[in-house]
Amino acid sequence: MPKDVPSARKAFPLRLDPALYLALERCAAAELRSVNAQVELLLREALARRGVALADPAMPRRGRPPKAD
């Protein structure tokens, strides 16, 4: 992939306080999400409260692929 084309997801290391991570795990489990998805949701909510507009996240296509003719 060329360097000027962003990948679908940006990976980076994140260090968290263990108590904060446990709280994220509990919240994620209660909402049937992964911790990663919970962190992303919370960051999007925080940015929205600050008035930072983001494009809607690209959702992967689910289900069967369309039939070829």
- DSSP letter at 32? T
* pLDDT given at position 6: 56
The per-residue pLDDT for 7 is 58
Query: Residue ranges per domain, the chain?
Result: 18-49
The confidence score (pLDDT) of residue 54 equals 83
In angstroms, how far is the first alpha carbon of the chain from the final one?
A: 30
The four Cα atoms 49, 52, 56, 60 give a dihedral, to 10 degrees, of -90
Q: What is the pLDDT of residues 5-62, one digit of tens each?
A: 555 778 899 999 999 999 999 999 999 999 999 999 999 999 999 999 888 777 777 7
The pLDDT value given to residue 13: 94
Predicted pLDDT at 1: 43
Q: Are 59 and 69 in contact (CB under 8 A)?
A: no
Which position has the higher pLDDT, 68 or 57? 68
